[in-house]
Structure 1
């Protein structure tokens, strides 16, 4: 499958800086913080995640954000304006995928995947 130059996919890129594994079309952003759920801080492997998005440069009026935990059909998590943020509950786990679509066309604009990571080293 070839990708257009307006699309960027970098597997694993940005896992530690909050961008996560995923892709975004030009002028679309979707970030997750944290993107790595630290097992030392969250022994059950579940955490709340702050999601931020901006597609205002694409002329999109509103978006839908879908969530897929890999165990069934994706579910609509929320709808919002072209730029915004929201925080999940403590239900996000390993390989949970967030997909942002244009609410009027259904076109996927960006996707981010969250991972569980083993205990991250702490500075002494």
Structure 2
């Protein structure tokens, strides 16, 4: 059986177009977001503060939000739906990290809060 060569370019175009559409669909997937507000803590802040946390993990069934300080083990703060927002208590300080995980414990996103630089004290001229 002979193949009519006139149809080969059209078949190739169809296959190439289908492959390009598949690549675009995979690359265009919604991204995981984790937003902590404020993004930076006030300068010279020594008292813990509350922050707002918002998240969206479009491909997770549920998420865990863990919070920890450098050198500490992450502690589960919330086990919740894949999308939402909440306000922490007044226990966030410079260096606090917020970790978003999926239902299987895989890390999806992480944010570490930092303080604005504390200005140098002004000394009187002697």
Shorter-chain TM-score range: 0.5 to 0.7
What's 1:31 paired with? 35
What's 1:111 paired with? 110
Greater radius of gyration (CA):
2
State the TM-score, normalized to the length of structure 1: 0.66
3-state SS in 1 of match to 2:79:
strand
Q: Whole-Å Cα distance in 2 between the matches of residues 66 and 107 of structure 1? A: 12
Question: Which protein is richer in helix relative to its size?
Answer: 2
What's 1:53 paired with? 55
Instruction: Report the CA distance between 1:36 and its aligned residue.
Output: 0.6
State the TM-score, normalized to the length of structure 2: 0.65
Q: Whole-Å Cα distance in 2 between the matches of residues 63 and 94 of structure 1? A: 24
Q: Whole-Å Cα distance in 2 between the matches of residues 86 and 116 of structure 1? A: 21
Deviation sequence 1:37-86 (CA, Å, 0-9, x none): 1136xx42421110000012x2x110001111124211111111010001
Query: Once superposed, what is the RMSD of the aligned Cα atoms?
Result: 1.9
Q: Whole-Å Cα distance in 2 between the matches of residues 74 and 93 of structure 1? A: 15
Q: Whole-Å Cα distance in 2 between the matches of residues 67 and 27 of structure 1? A: 21
Q: Whole-Å Cα distance in 2 between the matches of residues 116 and 91 of structure 1? A: 14
3-state SS in 1 of match to 2:113:
strand
Question: Which protein is richer in strand relative to its size?
Answer: 1
